[in-house]
Every structure is written in structure tokens, then in C-alpha cells.
Structure 1
Amino acid sequence: MLFTVLTGLITSSLLIPFGKLIKTKWSILLPFIPVLLFLFYALHVPTVAGGTNLLQHLPWVPTLGANLDFRLDGLSLLFALLITGIGTAIFFYGRSYLKGHHYFDRFFAYLLLFMSAMLGVVLSNNMLTLFVFWELTSISSFFLIGFNNDSRASRSSALMALSITGLGGFFLLAGLILAGHVAGTYVISELFTKHGLLVDHPLYPLIVTLVCLGAFTKSAQFPFHFWLPGAMKAPTPVSAYLHSATMVKAGIYLLARFTPILGHTELWNTTLLVVGGFTMAFAAIHALFRTDLKGILAYSTISALGVLTFLLGLDTPEAFVAASVFILVHALYKATLFMITGIIDHETHTRDITKLSGLRKVLMPVFIAAILAALSSAGVPLTFGFIGKDLIYEATLHYRENWSLWLTALAVITNIGLVAAGFMAGLKPFTGQLPTAYQNVHLPYKSMWIPPLILAALGLLFGIFPGVVGEYMNYQTANAIAGADTHMDLKIWHGFNVVLILSVATLVSGGLIYVFHTPSERKLAAIERFNRLAPQQVFLYIAQTCKRLAISFTQLFHNGYLRSYHLKIIVFAELLLGYKLWISGPIHIHFDQLTPLSWYEVVIVAILIGALYIIVSTRSRLTSVVSTSVIGYCICLMFVFYSAPDLAMTQFTIDTLTTVLFVLVLYKLPGFINLTSRAVLVRDAIVALGFGAILSLIALRVLYEPNTTTISDFYGENAYLLAKGKNVVNVILVDFRGIDTMFETVVLSIAALGVYSLIRLRLKSSEKE
């Protein structure tokens, strides 16, 4: 499994040096990467369907509990097949959609990176590893959403998506660490047996809150939903991939994976019910007022994600079965509709449904795919969407008696909106009269319309044979979510019952809304008048407030003067150290135990004080530098007096080198320009004397502290045994403090890249101005 995750990462990195080859005939090889990965996971379907879970363990950072653990069960297999299967369709589609694009190779590098990150998320059996891949999805999606980087709207949308999902990632990390700390393990499969321990712990409410925040931000749940419609600025292949089967489903996957671990409680269920229920109805209604095809699909996606969250909150076997089916249903028809939208935009250069009609006459294969996807979205019999919609109603009707009626009504309202939205996106552009402007529209490359046609046909095929799909794909998925046997039995016909009546009523009501409701700019403007109360505006207000505070903070603390920085650092250190001394109690000094002063020590201190006086009183930079070197040499002599010749030689070398460099740099500079007032001099003197006094008190306290050698003994005893090094200092730096040193190296590398970029920068004359 690790190899499948690394395949995309390795290929993505290879596209950097060999990108020019990919832009030519070799681009045909790219789609076969997800094809091979799909075949790999398809071969494991019989094994997993039989109830066998596959595990892989590779040590990574075992001391921190972070290992490359992977688990293939019903839930992860379904998502892996969606990621690679729909990824295959997107790769073939995107290869033609972006043919000739200047950044063709860069696009597929980002897409491969994202595919690998998603596989890592759904396959990870370690919470820390899962988080690493989780963040990688946010970063790679940032590049994909902002792919059209010459567009300000694309850049803004990418930043918004990264901000929201990145914030959620921070909360998720905190929740995962707390859960691992409470359970004593970060291995997800081991957490299934720790459910009682986690639920009964006082930190359980905080863990649930943090994990849900991480999932809600990624899966665009209200009030974090607004980043997803903005992400439609990305190229259509990106929208089709990210918003049908991958990125937004990552949050759903997380909730489903942690339901057996943190779920089955009132807090978990109520949170998911309330957030998911409001999101699905809110977004379904909003989708009816959009005039842009991508906007319709964006809000219907938010609604579908709300439905999945809502079903997980119901916490019943019927709901888990419905969720496992609806994940597949939504991925098939939504990816199809997105790709069809891209074809329409590619050929007509518009996505406005008020201007589109009659395209069936020139895009017949695309129309067939669109109508199949729209029918599956609506839940028409003999489509897989019909099975999914029936299961949703079955789950709400079998909920608690006092809530079943209300929850069913909410589900009906949502599905009516989704039916109408599906017809608007899948039927509206193809029905009616063909405008004269589109008479010359023709079919695009076959690799653009065949993938959506295949996905739409699968929606029909799975609807005709739901038992086969349920047995081999959805059954173990539902069991993994429930943590128990759900006894799934999908059938194409359940007889005449309340569920069938609700499905027919939903279909008829949605069809009537589609026929009699005409979206327009006027209606959209009426809805958008309430935007000032929208969560997006609240988020932007908070962001602007943070920006103003950051500017004020910068102006106060980062004014560009080195002396100001030194002053603030020293004052903060004085306050911190002074507080520590205060709470530590009085210092009892026994002067009779101190070493008597010698005449040479008194002479050295007198010279040092004289040099200090010259530094603060002179008006010459050169005299100040020489006096500073005198202080350094006095300290060297102190080291020699107290038997530390190695420190003395180090101090002597550094002080000499520093003095020479200062003289070379300052030689041609003018003398001091005395602009410092007496008040500033007094302030600096007080700060300096205070710092010296505090350090002196600390030194005196250290003299009377017990001399414990526990830490030094540990390093001395284990330096060679654990790290195979005889130089203890080197071992501490390289091995025991290896992570710290690694990050120092990373910082230096980033700084080097920045310097190199500035050196190689070639600005145009207009940019220089």
C-alpha cells in the first residue's frame, strides 16, 4: 500500500525535470498511473468483501508513535477505488481539456500529488500519519484551485480554501493528539477497542469538538461552506475531482472512520445531526437560485456532504448503509456533471444556464451522459441514485419516533432541491431550441466525453444490479462505519411502501420546481442581499481585524531598529527571570564560602569597567569597537584564571575576528551622530543595570543549588550505546537533538533558496518601477 501512495509522489517529482516530454506525445502515459492503481485495489475487492482487512506496518518515528501504518478495509477500499477510478477518468479528461496549456506538466504534477495525499489519508492506520497526508491534501489543493495564477479571483479562492482547511487542520491535530494521549496509542485499529476509555474521559467533549471542526472545514459544512463555491475558479477537471470523490469527501471519511471510536454518544450524534441537517437543506435551497453551472453543482455538493454528515449522525445501521451507498452515488453523478459542465464551457465559452439550451442537437453523447447523471441525481428508478434516496428515507423513518417525522421532512425538502438542481445542471443546457450562436458547436475529443459517459452508465448499471455492488463494495463499508454487522441487503424493488411514496413525491416535486422555477440574475441578486450576514463576511471581518492588529503589532515591535529589538528582548527577559526569582524565594548568600578575591581579578574588573565607560561615553565608532574588544579579552583572562583554557581560546578567536570585521566595515563610516536624548540614556542604563543585577542573582542562586548530574550522566552513558558516537557534544547535536538540528538545516536551506532567487531575479522595466 505504501508503494501506491508513493507512486504519485515520485511521479509528481519526476515531472519537474521531465515536464517538457510530458507536454508532447508522452502525456498519454499519465492516465495509466491511476489505471494501474485502480486495478491494484480492484484485485483486493474479493478479499475485503470476504471480511479480511489488510494491514501494513513500517516504522517511521517510533519514539513519537508516528509510523507508516496502512489499513485496507471496506471503508478505505471504497474511497481508494473512488480516488483512483474517478482519477482515471479525470486524467484522460484533463489531458484533452488542458491540451496545449503552458503549465500542462505542472497541472498533472499537482494532480498526482493530490491523488497520493488522498490515498494516504484514507489508507493511514496511524493518526499522525493521517494528519500529514491531510495537510498535504490542503497544500496540493491550494495549487490546483489557484492553478490559473494570473487570475486574482483564482488566487483569492485558493487562499480562502487554504485558510479554512488549514485552520481546520490545526484543530484536527490537537484533537488527534489528545485522543492518542488519552488512549495511549495513535494506531487507529487499536483505538476501536478504546471507545469506552475515550468516551468516559473528561477530555472527550474537547476531542469531539476539535475532530469535528477539522472534518467540517474540509467537507464544507455550515458555517465553513463558503470556500467551496469560491474554489470553482479552478479548472473544471480540478472541480470534478476535488468536489466529487476526493477533497471534500476527506472530511466525511474522517467522520466515518472515527464513528466507531468517538461516536455512538449523544454529543457526537447531535453535533453531526444539527450541522449536517442544516447544511443539506440550506445548500439545496441556495442551489436553486444559481445561474452558473458550477455554482449549481457547488451548492448541490455542499448539500450532499450535509446529507452524509446527517446520516452519520443518525447512528443507526440503516443510516450507515445509506451513507455507504450515497458516497458512491454522489461521486458517480457529480463527477459526470462536472465534466459535462467543462465540455459545455470548453465549446460554448459560457456556463450561464439562462443562455444555454438545445445543445443535445450538437452534443448528443454528452447529452446522454448528462441525462443519466441527472436521473441518478434525482433518484429515478433503475438508477443507483434511486437506491440511495430510498435508503435515506428508510434511515430517517426508522429513527426515534418523536423525531422521525421531522427528520424525514427535512430529508424530503433537501432531496427536492437536489432533484431540481440536478435537472438544472444536467437537462437545462440540452433541452429547448438551439441558439444560432451555438450552431457550429461540435463534439470535443473522445477522451473528454467518453469518461463522463462511462461514469453515468455505471450509475445505471449499479442501479440495475444493486445487490452485486452492495455485496462487493458497500456491505463492508457500512460495517466499517458501524463497527458491527449492518446486515446490508440492497434490492432494486422493496414493494409499495411509505419510502416509495416519498421517493415519487420527491421526484415529482423536484420536477415541478425545475419546470416552473426559472433562475435569473434578479432572483440571485435578491438572495445575495443577505450576504452581509453570511459566514463568509464574518470570516473576512475577523481576517481584516487580525490584519489590523498585526499591522499595529508590527509598527510597535518591529520598527526596523536593531536597538529597539534588543531593548524589548532584554526587558522581556528581565520580567521573566525576575518573576522566576521572586517566586523562588530569598537568596541566602554565605560570603565565607566564596573564594577570596585576588589582586589580578580586581585589576581585570577595573579594566573592564573602564572599557565599559569608554564605550558609553565615546563619540567614535572605532574607539567603541576597540573598547568592546578589550572587554572580550578581559573575559578571556577570567576563563584562564578559572581553568577554562578551551573557552578562553574560543573567546579570543571570535573576539579578534569580530573586531577585525567591525573595523573593516566601520572604517569608512562617519562618527556617531548623537541623536539620543538624556531620557533615553537613563532608560537604557536602568535596563542594562537591571539585567546585570538579575544575572548576578541567578549566578549566586546557582552556586547554592544541589549539583545533580542526572542529565549529563545519561548522555555520557548512552552516547556510544544508542548513537555510536564518542564525542558526547556531537552526539547530542546530531542524534539526541536531531529534529531540532534538522529544522535548523531546513531554515538555512529556505534562506539559501531565497537568496538564490533574488540573485537570479530578472525584473522587467515595468516591474522595477
Structure 2
Amino acid sequence: MLLAVLSGLIFSIVLVFFGRAFKAKWSILIPILPTILVIYFAQMIPTISSGKGFLQHYDWVPSLGINFEFQLDGLSSLFALLITGIGSCIFFYGRAYLKGHPYFDRFFGYLLLFMSAMLGVVLSNNILLLFIFWELTSISSFFLIGFNNDSADSRKSAITALSITGIGGFFLLLALVLMGNIAGTYTITELIQHRDTILNHQFYPLIIGLLFIGAFTKSAQFPFHFWLPGAMKAPTPVSAYLHSATMVKAGIYLLARFTPILGNHTYWNTTLMVVGGITMLYAAIHSLFRIDMKAILAYSTISALGILTFLLGVGTKEAVVAACVFIVVHALYKATLFMVTGIVDHETHTRDITVLGGLRKVLFPVAIAAFLAALSSAGFPFLTFGFVGKDLIYEATLHYTNADWTWILTGATVATNIALVSAGFMAGIKPFVGPLPEKFEKVHLPYKAMWIPPLILAILGVFFGVLPAIAGDYFTTAASNTIWGMNTESYLKVWHGFNTVFTLSVVTLLGGTLIYAINKPSLAKLARIEKLNSISPQRIITGFANDIVRVGHWYTGIFHNGYLRSYHFKIILFAEALLAYRLWMSGPISLDMWDLTYPDLYEVAVIFILIGALYLVVSTASRLTAVVAMSVIGYCICLIFVIYSAPDLAMTQFTIDTLTTVLFVLVLYKLPPFINMTNRGIMVRDAIVATGFGIILSLVALKVWSEPISTEISDFYGENAYLLAKGKNVVNVILVDFRGIDTMFETVVLSIAALGVYSLIRLRLKSSEKE
């Protein structure tokens, strides 16, 4: 499984070096990888459906509890098949959609990276490894959403999506670390065994709160939902892949995966039901007023994600089964409708449903795929998998454990599904029915690779609708068993007889059809809805973000104004305040413990020379004299080191001081010879701060002198330097071995700085850029 997860990452690196070849004759190889992966995961279906699983472990950073641990069970198998199966269709579709694009190879490099990241999320059995892949999905989706980087809207949408999901990732990391520390393990299969420990811990509410933020931001739950409609600025293959079947369902996967560990608790279930219920109703209603096909699908996607969150909150066996079935239902019809939208936009150059119509006459196979997907989204009886999914949703709400809430929950889901039926018809039927406008008469079918994938997915929706037992036996039952923790004994059937559930399904279909017939979306209606944007979550959160930016500008203007002397002044002033506070809190200095000795004559001479050089530095108006005087101060310190038996420090100080003096002279050669000291106020201020700093450091030295000497640390290094690190120079051993990680990061920082300097040296600006 490790190779399966990393294959997309490896292939994306190959594209960096051989991208030009993949733009032309080798482009057919790009969709081959997800096809091979879907075959790989499909051949494991019999084992997974029988209740067994696969576990793989590879050591990575065992000291930190991070290892390559992968598990393939019912839940991860379902998502892996969706990621690779729908991914195969998207890759074939995208190859034709972006044919001839100058950044063809770059796009598929990002898409392959994203596929690897999603596989890593759903297959990881180590929660820290899961988080690494989780963040990689956010980074790769940022590049995909902002792929059209010449568009300001695309760039803004990408930054918004990264900001929201990135913040969620931060809180998710806190939740995972807390949970792992409480349980004493970071392995998901072992965390399940510590369920009671986690649930009874005082930090349980904090853990689920942090985890909810991570899941809600990724899966676009209210009030974090607004990034998803903005992400529709991405190319259609991105929308079809990320925002229907994969990335937005990562949050749903997270909630499902941790249900056996954190679920079946009032805090967990109530929060998910409330947030999911608000999201599904809010987004479903919004979808009715949109006129852009992508916008309709974006809001209906948010609503569907709300339904899944709501079902996981209901938490009963029926709700878990319904959630697993609806994951497949939604992925099939929504990916189809997104790809259909891309075809319509590709051929007609518009997605406005108020001007589209009659396209069945010129895009007949595309129209068939759209009709079938729209019917599945509506839950058309006895034909589509969506009918089975809606039946199971209503069965879950009707059998809710609290009878007082049964009809409230059922009513909310019915209202949501009625709106979604209408939205599905708006995006999947309206552009293809009615008369064909004259300006679209020359529209023709695109490449077969563009309309065959959505047709395949639409037909699969019908196939599973007619034979739902196949989907249940091989996909959804194993997934629901994993979430439920035991056999759910679920058997999918087309017909359950004339009952309340069937009646609600018919009411939903008829109600949605009626609203579709009555509702006439227009720019005027959309403008009226957008008047409410002033109180929308997007406006509130964006306003808060803008306030943070304003505070940042204020802070930067004060503390980061670009003047080196200002930085030095503030750093020293802060250090003085910190040290003075610490000295004050530590109590008075004990004079009894001072063991003072009178200095020798040569020590006094060195000190007088140092004081004289210091006076010369602060009083001279010549830059060169100041530099020479500073070097004298440095050499005096070297002599003090020699006097007190520290020749290694003396040599280091001598080398650095000499080099610094030479560099100063070389730099000052280009500057005016004299220093402008007209501002006496600043000079007095700096003198006071410098004097205060010297006094405080003197007090610190006396305080250290008065403390009893402890040699535990130095003894440890002295005794173990040779035994553990095979080095006789204790200082070198400390730097290279005992502080190896610190030194490594210092090396990295210097390397980055060197790259920056090299880039500036090699920079060649155009004349217009220089101006």
C-alpha cells in the first residue's frame, strides 16, 4: 500500500522533468496510473467484504511515534475506490479537457499529488501520518484551485480555501496530539481500545471541539462553507474530483473514522446533528437561487455534505448505513454533473441556465448522462441508486432513538431533499430541454474522452439502483460495519413495500419537481438574496480576517519599519524588561556568597584600555575611527579570555573580531566618512537604554555568582562525550551530536539565506520593473 499511496507523488515528480513529453505523445500514460490503482484496490474487495482487512507497517520516525502504518478495511476501501475509480474518469476527462493547455503537465502534477494525499488520508493507521497527508491535500488543492493564476478571482479563491482548511488543520493537529497523549498511542486501531479512557477524560469536550473544527472546515460545514463556492473558479476537472468525491469528503471520512473512538456521546451526536442540519437546509435553499451551473452544484454539494454530517450525528445503525450508501450515491451523480457542466461550458462558453436550453439536440450522449445523474440525485424510484439512498435517510430519521425528535429530523431531511431535487434538475435537465437557441446550433460533441466518463458514472448510478445488493455486498456494508464496530446486517433492496419511507420518497420527488417547474432563477432574485451577504458567515469571518490584517499592518509599522537601529533598540529594550522582571521576582542578591578578589595590574590596564576605546566609539564622528575602536574592544575581550584560561574562546573572538573589522571597513568605504549626530534626543535615549542594559547584565552576572554551583550537566557531557559520541572535544560533541537537530536546522536556515542571496545576485530586472 505504501507504493500505491506514494505513486502519485512519484509520478508528479517525474512530470517536473519530463513534462514536455507528457504534453504530447506520452499524455495517455497519465490516466493509466489511477486506473492501475483502482484495479489494485478492486482485487481486494472480496477479502474486505468478508470482514477481513490489511495492515502494513513501515518504520519512519518511531521515536516520535510517526510511522508508515496503513490499513485497508471497509471504510478506507470504499474511499480508496472512490478516489481511484472516479479519479480514473477525471484523469481521462481532464486529458481531453485541457488538451493543448500550456500548463498541461503542471495541472496533472498537482492532481497526482492530490490523489496521493487523499489516499494517504484514508489509508493511514497513524493519526500523525494522517495529519501530514491531510495538510498535503490542502496544499495541493490550493495549487489546483488557483491553477488559473492569471485570474485575481482564482488566486483569491485559492487563498481563501487554503486559509480556512489550514486553520482547521491546525486545530485538528491539537486534537490528534491530545488524543494520542491521553491514550498513549497514535495508532487508530489501538485508539479504539482506549475509547473509554478518552471519553471519560476531562479534555474529551476539547478534543472533539478541535476535531470538529478540522472536519467542518475541510467539508465546508456552516459557517465555514463559503470557501467551496469560491473554489469553483478552478478548472472543471478539479471541481468534479475535489469538490464532489474526494477532498470535501475528507472531513466526512475523519468523522466516520473517529466515530468508533469518540462517537455515541451526547456532545458528539448533538453537535453533528445541529451543524449538519443547519448546513444541509441553508445550502439547499441557496442552491435554488443560483443561475451558474457550477454554483448550483457547489451549494448542493455543501447540502449533501451537511446530510452526511447529520447522519453521522444521528449515530444509529440505520443512519450509519444510510451515510455509507449516500457517500457513493452523491459521488456518482455529482461527479457526473460537474463533468457535464464542464462540457457545456467548454462547448458553449457559458454556464448560465437562464440562457442555456435544448442542448440535447447537439450533445445527446451528454444529455443522457445529465438526465440519469439528475434522476439519481432526485431519487427516482426503482431505477437509480439515489432512490435507495433517500429511502435509507428517511428510515434513519424515522427510527431515531428519541421519538420526540423523529418528525422534526424527518421534516428537515424532506425539506432539504426537495430543494436538492429541484437543484439537480436545474443543473442536469434544464440546459438540455426546450428549444435550442440559435447561437448554440453549431455546438458539437467534444472528444469521446470527455463525454464517456460521465456517461459511465451515470450508468453506474442506474446499475446500482437496479441491483443495490451488489453495492451493499461489496462496498457499503463493509464500510458501515467498520464505523458501527460490528455487523450492521444491512441488505440493500430496491423495494420495501408501500410504507412511510416510500411515501416520503414520492413526496420528495413530486415536491422537488413542482419547485423546479415553478422556480425561475434570475439575476434579480440572486441580487435580492445577495443583499443578505452583510450578515453572512463569509462577511463576518472575512471582516474578522481583515481586522487581523489591519492589526498586522499597525504592528508591522511600529515593530518592523525596516530600520536596523529600530530593531536593535526594541530587542534590547524588551530583553531589559524581561531580565529586570526576572531579577525582581528572584529576590535580592546575596552579598555573603560573593568571593571577590582584587584584579591584577595587567587586568586593570586591559579594563582601562577597553573603557577608553568605548568612550572613543560613542564620541567620535568618524566611521573609520569607530570601527577601529570597536576592534580594540574586541581584542581586549580576547585578552580577558586568555587571562582566565579560555584560549579557545579567545581564538574564536579574535577571528570573528578581525573578520568583522575587515568587512566593516570594506562596507564603510562606500559610505560618507563622518557620522551625522545632529539628533541629540535619540543619542540620549540610546545612551540610557545601553547603560540600563549594562547594569542589568552586571546584576545578572552577580546573581549567577551568588548561586550555588551545579556541575551535573557539565559532568554528564564530560563523562559521556567520548562514550556516546566518540569525541574528545566536549564542545564539538555538544554542537554536532547532543545538539545535532538544532545544528541541522541552523544549517537549513543558512542554506535558505544563501539561496536568497544567490537569487538576488542573479536577479536581472527588466527596465520597466526597475522603474
2:331 corresponds to: 331
Structure 1 residues 412 and 106: CA distance shift in structure 2, 3 A: same
Q: Write out aligned runs for 1:229-244 (5 A).
A: 229-244=229-244
1:442 corresponds to: 444
- Separation (CA, whole Å) in 2 of partners of 1:580 and 1:592: 20
What SS does the corresponding residue of 2:591 show, helix, strand or coil? coil
Deviation at 1:762, TM superposition (A): 4.6
Q: Over the residues paired in the alignment, what is the CA RMSD in angstroms?
A: 1.6
Write the deviation string for residues 128-182 of structure 1: whole angstroms up to 9, x where unpaired: 1111111111110000000001111111111111111111111111111111121
What SS does the corresponding residue of 1:674 show, helix, strand or coil? coil
- Separation (CA, whole Å) in 1 of partners of 2:666 and 2:559: 31
Deviation at 1:195, TM superposition (A): 1.3
Residue from 624, 627, 649 that aligns with 2:651: 649
Structure 1 residues 313 and 721: CA distance shift in structure 2, 3 A: farther
Deviation at 1:676, TM superposition (A): 4.8
Write the deviation string for residues 63-113 of structure 1: whole angstroms up to 9, x where unpaired: 211111111111111111111111100000000000000000000000000
- Separation (CA, whole Å) in 1 of partners of 2:254 and 2:475: 19
Deviates more, 1:511-520 or 1:85-94: 511-520
2:101 corresponds to: 101
1:173 corresponds to: 173
1:398 corresponds to: 399
Structure 1 residues 531 and 682: CA distance shift in structure 2, 3 A: same
- Separation (CA, whole Å) in 2 of partners of 1:57 and 1:738: 28
Amino acid at match of 1:285: I
Deviates more, 1:554-563 or 1:497-506: 554-563
1:277 corresponds to: 277
Deviates more, 1:677-686 or 1:120-129: 677-686
Task: Give 5+ residue unaligned stretches, structure 2.
Answer: none
Deviation at 1:721, TM superposition (A): 6.0
- Separation (CA, whole Å) in 2 of partners of 1:625 and 1:422: 77
What SS does the corresponding residue of 2:432 show, helix, strand or coil? coil
- Separation (CA, whole Å) in 1 of partners of 2:420 and 2:291: 15
Amino acid at match of 1:384: F
Q: TM-score, normalised by structure 1?
A: 0.97
Deviation at 1:28, TM superposition (A): 0.3
- Separation (CA, whole Å) in 1 of partners of 2:731 and 2:340: 64
- Separation (CA, whole Å) in 2 of partners of 1:691 and 1:224: 49
Amino acid at match of 1:111: L
Deviates more, 1:326-335 or 1:50-59: 50-59
- Separation (CA, whole Å) in 2 of partners of 1:731 and 1:376: 68
Q: Write out aligned runs for 1:103-142 (5 A).
A: 103-142=103-142
- Separation (CA, whole Å) in 1 of partners of 2:716 and 2:71: 38
Deviates more, 1:427-436 or 1:733-742: 733-742
Amino acid at match of 1:392: I
Amino acid at match of 1:526: R
2:560 corresponds to: 558
Deviation at 1:563, TM superposition (A): 1.3
Q: Is the 8 A contact 2:623 2:675 kept in 1?
A: no
Q: Is the 8 A contact 2:319 2:396 kept in 1?
A: yes
- Separation (CA, whole Å) in 2 of partners of 1:339 and 1:15: 25
Residue from 584, 587, 595 that aligns with 1:585: 587
Amino acid at match of 1:562: L
Structure 1 residues 675 and 6: CA distance shift in structure 2, 3 A: same
Deviation at 1:704, TM superposition (A): 3.5
1:506 corresponds to: 508
- Separation (CA, whole Å) in 2 of partners of 1:105 and 1:463: 37
What SS does the corresponding residue of 1:15 show, helix, strand or coil? helix
Q: Write out aligned runs for 1:449-468 (5 A).
A: 449-468=451-470
Structure 1 residues 752 and 627: CA distance shift in structure 2, 3 A: closer
Deviation at 1:743, TM superposition (A): 3.4
Structure 1 residues 283 and 592: CA distance shift in structure 2, 3 A: closer
Residue from 541, 546, 550 that aligns with 1:539: 541
- Separation (CA, whole Å) in 1 of partners of 2:4 and 2:78: 15
Deviation at 1:452, TM superposition (A): 0.4
Q: Write out aligned runs for 1:645-724 (5 A).
A: 645-716=647-718
- Separation (CA, whole Å) in 1 of partners of 2:212 and 2:694: 51
Deviation at 1:745, TM superposition (A): 3.6
Instruction: Verify: 1:617 aligned to 2:607, yes or no.
Output: no
Q: Write out aligned runs for 1:195-344 (5 A).
A: 195-344=195-344
What SS does the corresponding residue of 1:593 show, helix, strand or coil? coil
2:42 corresponds to: 42
Q: Write out aligned runs for 1:466-477 (5 A).
A: 466-477=468-479
- Separation (CA, whole Å) in 2 of partners of 1:434 and 1:405: 44
Q: Write out aligned runs for 1:522-537 (5 A).
A: 522-537=524-539
2:2 corresponds to: 2
Write the deviation string for residues 716-751 of structure 1: whole angstroms up to 9, x where unpaired: 555566666665544544454444344334433443
Amino acid at match of 1:467: A
- Separation (CA, whole Å) in 1 of partners of 2:726 and 2:378: 67
Amino acid at match of 1:393: Y
Structure 1 residues 327 and 206: CA distance shift in structure 2, 3 A: same
1:18 corresponds to: 18
1:387 corresponds to: 388
- Separation (CA, whole Å) in 2 of partners of 1:222 and 1:624: 63
Task: Give 5+ residue unaligned stretches, structure 1.
Answer: none
Q: Is the 8 A contact 2:622 2:675 kept in 1?
A: no
Q: Is the 8 A contact 2:593 2:706 kept in 1?
A: no
Deviates more, 1:426-435 or 1:474-483: 474-483
What SS does the corresponding residue of 2:252 show, helix, strand or coil? helix
Write the deviation string for residues 692-721 of structure 1: whole angstroms up to 9, x where unpaired: 122222222222334334434444555566
Write the deviation string for residues 631-678 of structure 1: whole angstroms up to 9, x where unpaired: 111111111111111111111111112112212221342233434533
- Separation (CA, whole Å) in 1 of partners of 2:275 and 2:719: 56
Write the deviation string for residues 484-522 of structure 1: whole angstroms up to 9, x where unpaired: 322211111111110000000000000111111111111
- Separation (CA, whole Å) in 2 of partners of 1:416 and 1:726: 78
Structure 1 residues 719 and 492: CA distance shift in structure 2, 3 A: farther
Deviation at 1:127, TM superposition (A): 1.3
Instruction: Verify: 1:32 aligned to 2:28, yes or no.
Output: no
* Identity, % of aligned positions: 70
Structure 1 residues 704 and 284: CA distance shift in structure 2, 3 A: same
Instruction: Verify: 1:70 aligned to 2:70, yes or no.
Output: yes
Q: Is the 8 A contact 2:621 2:677 kept in 1?
A: no
1:575 corresponds to: 577
Deviation at 1:560, TM superposition (A): 1.7
Deviation at 1:764, TM superposition (A): 4.3
Deviation at 1:763, TM superposition (A): 4.3
Structure 1 residues 449 and 719: CA distance shift in structure 2, 3 A: farther
- Separation (CA, whole Å) in 2 of partners of 1:644 and 1:532: 69
2:357 corresponds to: 357
Write the deviation string for residues 356-414 of structure 1: whole angstroms up to 9, x where unpaired: 11111111111111111111100112211111100100000011101011000000000
- Separation (CA, whole Å) in 2 of partners of 1:404 and 1:286: 25
Deviation at 1:239, TM superposition (A): 0.4
- Give the aligned length: 769
- Separation (CA, whole Å) in 2 of partners of 1:723 and 1:42: 51
Amino acid at match of 2:50: G
Deviation at 1:594, TM superposition (A): 2.6
- Separation (CA, whole Å) in 2 of partners of 1:35 and 1:267: 41
Deviates more, 1:473-482 or 1:25-34: 473-482
What SS does the corresponding residue of 1:417 show, helix, strand or coil? helix
- Separation (CA, whole Å) in 2 of partners of 1:526 and 1:616: 69
- Separation (CA, whole Å) in 2 of partners of 1:720 and 1:496: 83
Deviates more, 1:614-623 or 1:292-301: 614-623
